[in-house]
Amino acid sequence: MARRLKLGILISGRGSNLQALIDACADPGFPAEIALVVSNKADAKGLERAATASIPTRVIDHRGFASRTEFDSALNDALNDAAVDLVCLAGFMRLLGAEFVRAWHDRLINIHPSLLPAFRGLHTHERALEAGVKLTGCTVHFVRADVDNGPIIVQAAVPVLDTDTPDSLAARVLVAEHACYPAAVRWIAEDRVSIVDDRVVLRDGSTPEAPVFSPCVTTTRRYTP
Ligand code: GAR
């Protein structure tokens, strides 16, 4: 099998998206492997998930640095030391500076629990319910300097129910997140993703197909498990 893409995963907490990537990478046929998990919080549950899977971890606590630039630089060094090819933000709740984003241009992706560009930032599910949208979802995208912005790789739409609370909606969106993140990583690792005019184009010309991986979730692109 061809060389597997080396992932560096940045987390701050629970790490359920990390777990989805760990599970995907456990399949020897998956074209990526996790080289390093970095958390800015020592008590992040995701660190336990990585340790259980025998994945190297680092804690780089932002509070130990005088500036964002120095914190970013420590992150950058850790990722380079682990020969990381692609950085995946998975619930990493620190803003990254422009220099870091530039250094990892087109090699840095994020997952966000909304259909971007709607509901950038925090409290997405509360705001989706307040706005009365009938569909929400999740987005995996390349990271650019602005928060929760950049070329979209995959999105999944999740219907909002009249009975939803922020927690119930978050739980259903999370199911979609766990399907979308491995799909996006797979496409990048298989070199199927190109960026034209800051938009993602799949080289094989995949066309939208829905529904795909759950009765209540549709995706904008075909998902090959
Ligand atoms: C996920 O819902 C992810 O989309 C969100 O944080 C959660 C992390 O959960 N990320 C953002 O809001 C980034 N703007 P997890 O730690 O269980 O993967």
| pLDDT one-digit tens code per residue, 86-140 | 999 999 999 999 999 999 999 999 999 999 999 999 999 999 999 999 999 999 9
Structural tokens at position 54: 């025998």
**What are the tens digits of pLDDT across the range 142-191?**
999 988 899 999 998 999 999 999 999 999 999 999 999 999 999 999 99
Checking if the pLDDT of 203 tops 90, the result is no
pLDDT of residue 215: 37
* Same domain as 137, residue 62: no
The CA 207 to ligand 1 mean position distance, Å, reads 27
pLDDT band at 52; cut points 50, 70, 90: very high
Distance CA(102)–CA(145), nearest Å, equals: 8
Pocket test for ligand 1, best of 112, 126, 147, 172 (most atoms within 8 A of CB): 112
* Same domain as 116, residue 84: no
* Same domain as 52, residue 21: yes
pLDDT of residue 220: 52
pLDDT of residue 212: 44
The domain of 77 spans 1-104
* Same domain as 162, residue 93: no
Distance CA(68)–CA(126), nearest Å, equals: 29
CATH number of the domain that residue 142 is part of: 3.40.50.170
Last residue of a domain, one of 82, 104, 126: 104
In this structure, what is the dihedral angle of CA atoms 196, 201, 202, 205, given to the nearest 10 degrees? -110
Last residue of a domain, one of 104, 128, 143: 104
% of the chain at pLDDT higher than 70 = 90
Answer yes or no: 141 catalytic. Answer: no
pLDDT of residue 205: 59
* Same domain as 53, residue 117: no
* Same domain as 181, residue 114: yes
CB atoms < 10 A from the CB of 95, how many?
10
Atom 1 of ligand 1, nearest CA residue: 91
The residues with which 194 forms a beta bridge, in sequence order, are 201
* Same domain as 31, residue 139: no
Atom 5 of ligand 1, nearest CA residue: 91
* Same domain as 209, residue 125: yes
Atom 9 of ligand 1, nearest CA residue: 91
Structural tokens at position 100: 């870091």
Helices (H) and strands (E) in the chain, counts: 6, 10
Last residue of a domain, one of 104, 133, 158: 104
For ligand 1, what atom is nearest to the CA of residue 14?
16
Pocket test for ligand 1, best of 177, 181, 185 (most atoms within 8 A of CB): 177
pLDDT of residue 83: 98
* Same domain as 11, residue 80: yes
Instruction: Give the containing element (helix H, strand E) for 113.
Output: none
Instruction: Give the containing element (helix H, strand E) for 79.
Output: helix 68-81
State the total domains in the chain. 2
The ligand 1 site (C-beta within 6 Å) comprises 11, 13-17, 90-91, 111-113, 148, 174, 177
Query: Could you tell me the pTM of the whole model?
Result: 0.93
For ligand 1, what atom is nearest to the CA of residue 90?
18
Residue 126, SS3 per DSSP: helix
Atom 12 of ligand 1, nearest CA residue: 112
Distance CA(88)–CA(132), nearest Å, equals: 31
pLDDT band at 211; cut points 50, 70, 90: very low
* Same domain as 81, residue 23: yes
* Same domain as 161, residue 88: no
* Same domain as 8, residue 88: yes
